[in-house]
Structure 1
Amino acid sequence: MEVHLPKLVILTLIPIFLPLSSSSKTYTSLTQGSSLSSPHDVLVSSPMGIFTAGFYAVGDNAYCFSIWFTHAREANGNQTVVWMANRDQPVSGKHTKLSLLHSGSLILRDAGQLTVWTSGTASAAEVVVLKLHDNGDLVLRNEKNTSRVIWRSFDSPTHTLLPEQALTAKAELVSSRSLTNQSSGFYKLYFDNDNVLRLMYSGFEMTSVFWPVPWKNSWEAGRSTYNSSKTAVLDLYGRFSSTDDFKFNTSDLGVGPRRRMKLDVDGIVRVYSLNARRNTWEVTWQLPMQPCNIHGICGANSLCNYSPASGRRCSCLPRYKPKDSSDWSQGCVPDFDQTPCKNNASDDVFSRINHAEFYGYDIGFFQNQTLEQCKNRCLSYCECKGFQYKFDPDRGFYNCYPKTLLFNGYQSSGFEYWIYLRLPPASDETKLVQLQLQCTNPVVEIQRPYTRKNKHGWLRSLAWCVGALGALELVCVLLFLYKTRASGKKLREQGYFQVATGFTRFTYAELKKASRNFSEEIGRGGSGVVYKGVLSDNRVAAIKRLNEANQGEAEFLAEVSLIGRLNHANLIERWGYCAEGKHRLLVYEYLGNGCLTENLRSKKLDWRKKFEIAVGVAKGLAYLHEECLEWVLHCDVKPHNILLDENYQPKVADFGLSKQLKRSEVENLNVSTIRGTRGYMAPEWVYNLPITAKVDVYSYGIVVLEMVTGKIPNFDSDQNGGILERDEGGSSSVSNWIDQIVELGEYDVAGLENLIKVALQCAQENRNARPTMAQVVDMLLAH
């Protein structure tokens, strides 16, 4: 028998080689003796999967075991991290595991050797399980007695406090070092020994409390020291309360958005709320503090300047230079010899800096001093770096504050203070070195040696053999990729399109599964059938399966691209699409109250809801007609294409028949086929007149009249003359017959008359007599 040795060797070695590469796994719980491997294994919260725990990348081959929101992301695209176990000691991405030992202790080992973090628990007599809950709390508890909590992440927060997570005397929030460095930073929110919640700067060389303002007593700052529990919590409604009487409410107070309270890298505490519609975080409360009042923000020997236009800037004092221009927290260092009392200190000079103040580090406080007396006092101390010279308006004289350290400097035109900087007599230069804040961070390599035991040397030889065979296979793969480059190019183009539009490109199989083989139909129209489905991320969606036509993929993607540029509260929100072979599908948000047609038949809508629907639809159409870079004509405005959300707010849907055009083409638009639904179509379609945005205005008028009267347009006539028969009096006679035609129950007579007049104007046969949709909005809201 002929044997092909290379193939035989490959087939023989595959079972040995495969265990060396692990695939990612998703868990809902971790039991004793099991583990999560970096960097891909994750633990998801139950039952809704709001949070994920796993290895979060903080650098090149550097990971921290963390908890983050599964879907919500930061503005820079990174996951929204809420907790870290080893933020100051990242681990390698290879052979690192978080293990739940049989002893009941959680342990994180770097590369399987060095222990970098442990829960410090040992419950060998108990059966324990680790679970992540939908409130973001990672809990180790007794599996049989679930009320017995052994360890939980809520007890050791990092920089974030989640709703109902208590900040206590044994816990504190510590900011990150920078936007890109997740290690512990300089700012801390904690309960002090006097039971007051405080913010502290703790830098390389100094520490200082800056909130509440340190020059006030606790009661002057509205705080109480008479408590012993030391507890602060943000509840589910957006209310924060602390046992020292500090309280606040977020701007979006109430049940609804997901929130998180974070001590940011700039030393400011903020509460972020998730805008579910945009999937973005928005600040709904922040500590009311000027950026330059935060201690340590510019380091020693520097001044902080702030303006709304240019933001915060750090400036070195005269004859000082930045210690590290990429990290202003390190401040500035003298560009001269600063040996205390070297030579004759009396020769030192003073450079005056106007409108500036340095807080703290005073040698003493000397009242009623002349400028010369204050200079001599500073010269008498070798450690004096300068002095603050302030006028006391209550007593009518100046006070002197010699400084041992120039820290927490702030310069503003609103200050009437002066700083006199002590300098050796080498230069009379008083120009400040001013640089804008830098946000770059150098990459620091973690120096951590790993020792490996030299066992099973024959495995190394085997690995070399497998590597050689792998190289051969790699060549084959490259040849295959070369031959299929056209297909790869197409996939890349699809990726670029997804980034440009913000849409997700679904496969047909994904949507077929989400809709359970298109089993639950929720609507149909001339362009296709709509089905209800549940996407892989548990979002309920409406999946529209367009009728098969001769439309090419490029033409379909062009229309999808247009839709991606439309964003209005009264337009249906599109989430994705599918263009696969002959299949064309659109995925958009599911609205539980269905279309306007169904609600009109069920008579659920009172006068107020109908009026708000009329206004909302008008705003959506006005946006399409006048606020887009390209004009969009809907061409099929009817109750079936107006959907209602849970609050009965309208959203215009179904742009399958829409027409996009440039503004220069509006007067010369040529539409080859009639578009729309009989009964709602403007006369221009029948008489072959130029098609403009006024066709949508006409359809809108018919829809409003149908809402008011409950009468459906005549679908059989070639031209719809309007739902109402107008008498010779025109719109002014509306009040004469309004009670006979209206089906609204209780209503505002004047408001209803105005709505009917606007609708009749929109439904004029003469297109030039119809208002624009923007004018319709103004007329409705002017009432």
Structure 2
Amino acid sequence: MRNPLLLLCFSLALSFSLTSSVRLTLREGSSLSVDKPDDILTSKDGAFSAGFYPVGENAYCFAIWFSKPSCSIHNCAVVWMANRDQPVNGRSSKLSLGKNGDLVLTDAGRTVVWAPSTKSSSESSRKLLQLLDTGNLVLRDKQLNISWQSFDSPTNTLLPLQKLTRNMPLVSSRSKNNFSSGYYKLYFDSNNLLQLLFDGPKITGVYWPDPWLNSWQAGRTIYNDSRVAMLDPHGNFTSSDDFTFLTSDYGAKVQRRLTVDHDGNVRVYSQSEGEEWIVSWQAKSEPCTIHGICGPNSMCTYHPREGRSCICAPGYERENHFDWTQGCKPQFNSFCNSKVDTDFVQLQHANFYGYGKNLIKNCTLERCKKLCLGMCNCLGIHYNNSECFPKLKLLNGRYSPSVTGDIYFRLPKSSLSSYKIPKIEYAALQCPGKEIVLPRTYVKTNGSWAIKVLLVFVGATAGMEATLVLIIWCLLYRNRPEKDGAHIDGYHARPTEFRRFTYDELKKATWNFSKEIGRGSGGIVFKAMLSDCRVAAVKRLHEANQGENEFLTEVSTIGNLNHMNLIDMWGYCAEGKHRLLIYEFMEHGSLAGNLSSPTELDWSKRFEIAVGSARGLAYLHEECLEWVLHCDVKPQNILLDSTYQPKVADFGLSKILKREGLKDSSFSRIRGTRGYMAPEWVYNMPITSKVDVYSYGIVLLELVTGRSPTGGLANTEGGDENENKRLTSWVRERKRTGVPMETWIKEIVDPRLTGEYDIRKIEVLVTVALQCVEEDRDARPTMSQVVEMLLHYGDEDEMILV
């Protein structure tokens, strides 16, 4: 046994020396270890490296960075991270490519931290992980078919030739030294415009392009559906909304990267051989015009040497000395809860963008102050050249000599002299950019060298014995019939563009179906955490009234639908009698829940929800290859994402039709929800897309009035059209001829809309809604005509105070 053991030891030593060197590929059955600093992947040209990158004390992320020109591991330009929000430990963590072709990142506790979803490929084709010269990390087979790539899941950086699309926002890091997800996002909005958004802990707002500009004023167009942008290697950036720019060094052969920085600015960095990174383009030239960094009741100041900082308004004190975004809190009680006398403190060259009660032109300063004093929730006024802006909130503050106009802060008169006027000076945080520290410890043993050698010997011997057993097993059972694991209950798994889950996987992901987030006539919806750490919504259907082949055919069709206002389906389960659908999780739940909650939807959100929902239904009816009738349009089936953009859900399983079958179809049973159902269901008339138009009209009326068409009755399947008439007839009666528009609108508008609303948009919504709920289906518009009517009304606003 001595000779084989020596040979094994030599093989192990050779193996360790090879794995510690730089690799060009990672093959199945191999891994990269955090314990080996040199265990990295490198692109062929040496420009990029991928490996474990330190992000704090004992904290690492698997990342891609520029390695040419050479840099220290602590100051390289990182362009991508797999686990930026869940670092792994600095010991025993690995990125492994399993023999089944799955890529998995595990920490020292063997917990799976990151495992990307991969496209299906041939089982016989072995996979390998490779870092391309473009900086793209790809998982592909020998036929060069890519099943996953880092370019499809960017973090905060866009590399040349990498596309920014509708589902691929760039999100900043939290701070200079904290690589976790921050508050700033570059993305395409629902109007197809490329925008910068601040999504902070207390406020949210778009600040680029300038929010007071219309799309055409900003040089953009909303008339595109591709939503794609790209920076080419020469420094030319192009976007589908017509936004373009050239870097200052356009044409030079240098390395480039476009990054959403932690300060909220988007910059293009360029680097020549042997030189430092320089900024060759940036979105915002004035740092303090970037929203959100200073939080409520706080103002941004800029200093050429120290940079940007935040100071509190008079009468306010800092909320958190470690985080500017928390803003400042008042040193006095609310004016609405007390009858204290108030007056104003003037601060020149300051302003707070947004949340003005109304613009009043040709107004004197005294009249402007009186208007503010007459509102208990008015915190101050901005006055500039006879223009008065009463402020209900003090957000997006800026204090600079270049700002025109003055801010007058409303404060208690009794202690007016005690409030200090702030100075334009740099105010540093007490502890910026705190590092990530993982609360894990590992006990180090102090065993002797002899014991360690003995353990190695025993382990090697055991390994050889295990290998011999495996060889014998293979020889004995190589001709044994293999059980077909590709079949489930006698059915072949159909090829789809999304994943098929097992029932046991979904039981684990939903914590045994314990976190219910919604239910309807078709099934119950549960919150889930998938194995790749994505938050999902799993809908368990009540009855398996379809065969598996029929179910998979419909699911495959729905999975191929792609529209910004339709919910994304990520997978399904068809196992025995179980039928489940896996969707993206929507942070703000359903429209129904938001309409009935104490935190009401403001008017601008409601109008965007109306337009977005119409776009989604128009796509189902007229744009996808196999047209889909929803058959159950209602607020419960309109879901809202983190920015309150609507997505129509629960579509498709009702009726999928070929193009020639849309005009005249039949159903075996009545479908829909009482209060939203068209008369065709009750009178047994042919069912067309106009049933969805009718239901959408009821939803519009509910958006405007805040009233349910069922009069508070529970939503149940079936019913008659008389329930609908309670709402439609009430609105029609108040919109009778001869009554001033302002009068009937005030009578029907949701009383929870206590702020400003656009009276002409409400008239348009009501007019469109009443056309949609006509008894004669031929008198109703199509959904594409509804979209045109809503968008054609114009950009001018007329604000009515209520």
* Structure 1 residues 54 and 120, CA gap change in structure 2 (3 angstroms): same
Task: Give the counterpart of 1:427 among 390, 394, 416.
Answer: 416
Match for residue 27 of structure 1 among 8, 23, 29: 23
Q: How far does the alpha carbon of each residue in 1:609-648 deviate from its partner, in whole angstroms, 9 at most, with x for none?
A: xxxxxxxxxxxxxxxxxxxxxxxxxxxxxxxxxxxxxxxx
Task: Give a deviation string over 1:70-117, Cα, whole Å, max 9, x none.
Answer: 133679960111101111111101111111223322111121422221
1:109 counterpart (106, 110, 113): 106
Greater relative contact order (Cα < 8 A, sep 6+): 2
Check if 1:373 corresponds to 2:362: no
Q: In the alignment, what sits opposite 1:36?
A: 32
Aligned to 2:270: 273
CA deviation digits over 1:537-561, x for unaligned, max 9? xxxxxxxxxxxxxxxxxxxxxxxxx
Query: Which residue type is aligned with residue 86 of structure 1?
Result: N
Worse overlay, 30-39 or 171-180: 30-39
Shift of the alpha carbon at 1:431?
1.9
* Equivalent residues in 2 for 1:711-730, closer than 5 Å: none
- CA distance in 1 between counterparts of 2:421 and 2:204 reads 29
Pick the aligned partner of 1:390 from 384, 389, 398: 384
For these two proteins, the number of residue pairs brought into alignment is 437
Would the alpha carbon gap of residues 465 and 105 (structure 1) be closer, same or farther in structure 2, given more than 3 Å must change?
closer
- C-alpha distance in structure 2 between counterparts of 1:401 and 1:407, whole Å: 13
Contact 2:267 2:281 in 1 (8 A): yes
Which residue of the other structure, out of 403, 415, 432, is the alignment partner of 1:441?
A: 432
Per-residue deviation, 1:60: 0.4
Q: Answer yes or no: is 1:136 the counterpart of 2:153.
A: no
Change (3 A) 1:259 1:109: same
Query: So what's the TM-score if we normalise by structure 1?
Result: 0.52
> Offset of 1:267 from its aligned partner?
1.5
2-structure distance, mates of 1:76, 1:31: 25
Q: Name the residue aligned to 1:197.
A: 194
Matched residue SS, 1:374: helix
Q: Indicate if the aligned counterparts of 2:22 and 2:42 stay in contact, CA closer than 8 A.
A: no
Local SS of the residue matching 1:71: coil
Q: Following the alignment from structure 2 to structure 1, what is the Cα–Cα distance between the partners of residues 212 and 299?
A: 20
Aligned to 2:693: none
TM-fit CA distance, 1:140: 0.7
Normalised by the size of structure 2, how large is the TM-score?
Answer: 0.51
Of 392, 395, 403, the residue aligned with 1:415 is 403
| Deviation, structure 1 residue 468 | 11
CA distance in 2, matches of 1:467, 1:370: 88
Which residue identity lines up with residue 55 of structure 1 in the other structure? F
Q: In the alignment, is the contact (CA less than 8 A) between 1:102 and 1:124 conserved in 2? A: no
Deviations 1:507-565 (A, max 9, x none): xxxxxxxxxxxxxxxxxxxxxxxxxxxxxxxxxxxxxxxxxxxxxxxxxxxxxxxxxxx
Matched, 1:80 2:77: yes
Question: Does structure 1 conserve the Cα–Cα contact (< 8 Å) formed by 2:85 and 2:181?
Answer: yes
What do residues 689-741 of structure 1 show as CA deviations (whole Å, max 9, x unaligned)?
xxxxxxxxxxxxxxxxxxxxxxxxxxxxxxxxxxxxxxxxxxxxxxxxxxxxx
Distance 1:365 1:239, change over 3 A: same
Q: Does 1:264 align with 2:261?
A: yes
For residues 124 and 290 of structure 1, the distance between their equivalents in structure 2, rounded to whole angstroms, comes to: 53
> Is the CA contact 1:74–1:280 (under 8 Å) kept in the aligned structure 2?
no
1:287 equivalenced with 2:283 (yes/no): yes
The 3-state SS of whatever aligns with 1:120 is coil
| In the alignment, structure 1 residue 220 sits paired with structure 2 residue 217 | yes
The answer to whether the Cα contact below 8 Å between 1:42 and 1:52 also exists between their aligned partners in 2 is no
2:391 aligned with 1:403 = yes
Which residue of structure 1 aligns with residue 152 of structure 2?
155
Question: How many Å apart are 1:352 and its aligned residue?
Answer: 1.2
1:131 shift after superposition: 0.6
Equivalents in 1 of 2:138, 2:264: separation in Å?
A: 29
Query: Structure 1, residues 485-525: CA drift from partner, whole Å, max 9, x if none?
Result: xxxxxxxxxxxxxxxxxxxxxxxxxxxxxxxxxxxxxxxxx
Q: Equivalent pairs: percent with the same residue? A: 45
1:357–1:409 contact (8 Å) kept in structure 2: yes
Match in the other structure for 1:699: none
CA distance in 1, matches of 2:262, 2:300: 16
Q: Structure 1 residue 412: deviation in Å?
A: 2.6
Amino acid at match of 1:321: E
How far did 1:339 drift?
Answer: 3.5
Shift of 1:357: 1.0
Unaligned runs of 5+ in 2: 1-8, 453-802
Instruction: Establish whether residue 183 from structure 1 lines up as the match of residue 180 from structure 2.
Output: yes
State the superposition RMSD in angstroms. Answer: 3.3
Partner of 1:353: 347
- Aligned mates of 1:354, 1:159 — CA distance in 2: 37
Which of 238, 241, 255 is matched with 2:235 structurally?
238
Aligned 8 A contact 1:355 1:413 in 2: yes
Instruction: Report if aligned partners of 2:301, 2:426 keep a CA contact under 8 Å in 1.
Output: no
Residue in 1 aligned with 2:714? none
Asked if 2 retains the 8 angstrom alpha-carbon contact of 1:73 and 1:80, the reply is no
* Unmatched tracts of structure 1, length 5 or more: 1-13, 392-397, 453-459, 471-783
Using the alignment, how far apart are the partners of 1:18 and 1:87 within structure 2? 34
Alignment of 1:509-528 (within 5 A): none
Equivalent position SS for 2:416: coil
Matched residue SS, 1:94: coil
